[in-house]
Amino acid sequence: MYWLRTPQKVYFKKGCMFLALDELKTEYGCKRVLIVTDTGLYKNFAVNAVEKKLSALGIMHSCYFALGNKVDLSAVKDGAKAASLFEPDAIVAVGGKGVISASKLIRVLYACPEADIARLSESFGDITSRDTVFPQMQKKILLVAIPTNSGSGCEMSPFAVVNDGEDKYQIADYFIMPDVAVIDADFSMNSSQTETASCAAMILSHALESYFSDRATTYTDGFAIKAIALVMQYLPSAYENGSGDPVAREKLAEASAMSGIAFANAGNLHGVSFESACSFCAVRGFISAMRDVKGADLDRVQELNKVLGTDNAADKLEALLNACRDE
């Protein structure tokens, strides 16, 4: 049996954050919200729009922003303590994959105080093969994920990665998937060229892995192929023009979410922990494999070529990466 799991609600369109937060009050009845972000985003006022909207709605809010570029388990535990003190009925994560991963685990530790992150981690990648059973949630708390870049698709996934000293814990369970994802390109509009290229590589690595996975389905193929097509069409302009082409920015945000859905249902946990350079390497690995395949895999490559409207998707993808990254 196969399934397709996504957040309960997915909002997508430039500026959709306002409607999504409206529904925190009108549909979910939220009265207290904990915003989770990192120090850099907080200092750059990235959460100001969220705070102002919540204030306008009369929703009490607090902000936990003690996360760094590398998410540490101690910071996650401190976030859970902040949640316990504030007692929110919703967590709104505003940030990249680190912030969203941390927010997933903050909710776990807040709603299930007895949970042990190390015991819940897995060393394998297939989410359907888990032996670990998550504890029952003692508090009902909504998790809303608002990504500030277009790459990991973490807002759509049941995966989280956190560091504890030299150890890295990888969690894979649909229990931690966000309830609401908000794909608002306003939050990624001013990404640099370097970040744009790195995020596009991550989209492609997740989409290609999902497409060539032995757990790929008709449904995950649709999301994966569309994500690849959107990157091929809109990355050049998003890279060159940045916020000067808001449509291209919006389409990359959508591609990220689509690859996230595909990856959440057909990908492997290890891909979540890719750094930017690893994403480029992963895409190049898929490109190399696409040029030397036989049998069923060859059929998959030819199907991809046909859908993308090209004779050689591998060459097209390689040219795209080369154009957007200094070697």
Domain range summary for the chain, segments of one domain joined by +: 9-187, 193-323
Query: At 94, is the secondary structure helix, strand, or coil?
Result: strand
Q: Find out whether 207 and 254 touch, Cβ atoms under 8 Å.
A: no
What is the number of residues in the chain?
327
pLDDT of residue 297: 77
d(CA 88, CA 114): 19
Query: At 123, is the secondary structure helix, strand, or coil?
Result: coil
Tokens at residue 288, please? 């190399």
Query: At 314, is the secondary structure helix, strand, or coil?
Result: helix
pLDDT of residue 296: 63
CB atoms within 10 A of CB 112: 18
Q: Find out whether 103 and 36 touch, Cβ atoms under 8 Å.
A: yes
pLDDT of residue 273: 47
Q: Find out whether 224 and 259 touch, Cβ atoms under 8 Å.
A: yes
pLDDT of residue 326: 53
316 burial level (CB within 10 Å; 0-12, 13-18, 19+): middle
Q: Find out whether 62 and 110 touch, Cβ atoms under 8 Å.
A: no
Pairing of strands 142-147, 180-183: parallel
pLDDT of residue 87: 96
pLDDT of residue 127: 60
pLDDT of residue 271: 47
Q: Find out whether 321 and 283 touch, Cβ atoms under 8 Å.
A: yes
d(CA 87, CA 34): 8
Distance of CA 56 to the CA centre of its chain: 28
pLDDT of residue 172: 85
Q: Find out whether 92 and 37 touch, Cβ atoms under 8 Å.
A: no
CA quadruple 252, 254, 259, 264: dihedral, nearest 10? 140
Q: Which of 81, 75, 83 is nearest to 165 (CA)?
A: 75
Q: Which residue has the tokens 């690595």?
A: 205
Task: Find all residues with CB under 8 Å of 210, minimum gap 6, and list them.
Answer: 216, 220, 223, 224, 259, 262, 263, 265, 266, 267
Q: Do the domains 9-187 and 193-323 sit in the same CATH topology, yes or no? A: no
CB atoms within 10 A of CB 14: 16
Which stretches in the chain have pLDDT values below 50? 123-124, 271, 273-276, 327
Task: Please check whether the domain covering 9-187 is classified as CATH 3.40.50.1970.
Answer: yes
d(CA 227, CA 241): 20
Q: Class assignment of domain 193-323?
A: mainly alpha
